[in-house]
Amino acid sequence: MKKIIAIIISVIFILSLSIPSFAIEPTGEQISELKEYGIITGDPDGNMRFGDTLTRSEAVKIICTLLCFNENSNIVGIESPFPDVSEYHWAKGYISIAKELKIVEGDPSGYFNPEASVTNEEFIKMLVVALGYEPIAESRGGYPVGYNMVASNCGITEGLQFEVNTPALRGEVAIMTAKALDVPLMKQVGFGTNAEYAVMDGKNGMALETLRDNFEK
């Protein structure tokens, strides 16, 4: 019975996302913050192009910058983690970091597809993992439904409507990223066979911790 209920919930959630997507722009405050923090800077001419899509490489750069990593961070070695990401690819450092942090994985053949458009579901998963909520997302059905549910509960996708399995628009990516700055992080507080996780929301003795803290120091 529980399995049937889970399937029904998953179907309802997916259908709720099956609404045509249209360009939505972030607020002026959100744009200012994202620019100030260097998370989203626009094209070489400074145009934000909120109605355009973005590649998986560009999405990974946003996530790494959100986590205050840059392409030269020495968290990984010099070898490219995917066969289709060359040593000279502009985002190789970011992609390597994201792979090391388990924010991204390869496709069934082990390729990253750096120039493919990132989908709404893929970017949502990257954000949810970056915020530490992967355990909850996996317990609620995994990719993509579990991650979509977590993003909704955290307010990341509030007010946004997506078409299933379609390229994410820059404007909506900017909005989700800006909202993620203030989501309390989830961290592992128990280890070993009884791993425990806690939301760092400033309640029940937990400190309040968000990604914004890294930029406010």
Question: What pLDDT score does 201 carry?
Answer: 95
Residue 145 has pLDDT above 70, yes or no: yes
Give me 134's structure tokens. 């992967």
Residues 164-210: pLDDT tens digits?
Answer: 899 999 999 999 999 999 999 999 988 877 889 999 999 988 999 99
Question: What pLDDT score does 140 carry?
Answer: 96
Residue 14 has pLDDT above 60, yes or no: no
Question: What pLDDT score does 192 carry?
Answer: 76
Residues 23-55: pLDDT tens digits?
Answer: 689 999 999 999 999 999 888 888 899 999 999
CB of 170 closer than 8 Å to CB of 39: no
pTM of this structure: 0.86
Question: What pLDDT score does 45 carry?
Answer: 86
Three-state secondary-structure class, residue 105: coil
Question: What pLDDT score does 138 carry?
Answer: 97
Three-state secondary-structure class, residue 108: coil
In terms of Cβ atoms closer than 10 Å to its own Cβ (0-12, 13-18, 19+), residue 77 is exposed
More confident residue, 156 or 74: 156
Q: Which of 65, 69, 71, 56 is nearest to 36 (CA)?
A: 65
Question: What pLDDT score does 20 carry?
Answer: 39
Q: Which residue blocks in the chain are alpha helix, DSSP H?
A: 2-17, 28-36, 56-66, 92-100, 120-130, 134-139, 145-153, 170-180, 212-216
Question: What pLDDT score does 46 carry?
Answer: 83
- Taken as a whole, the chain contains a residue count of 217
Question: What pLDDT score does 102 carry?
Answer: 94
For 143-154, b where at least 16 C-beta lie within 10 A, e where not — what string? Answer: bbbbbbbbbbeb
Residues 53-104: pLDDT tens digits?
Answer: 999 999 999 999 999 997 776 555 567 899 999 988 999 999 999 999 999 9
Question: What pLDDT score does 23 carry?
Answer: 62
Query: Across-strand partners of 208?
Result: 201
More confident residue, 95 or 216: 95
Question: What pLDDT score does 103 carry?
Answer: 96
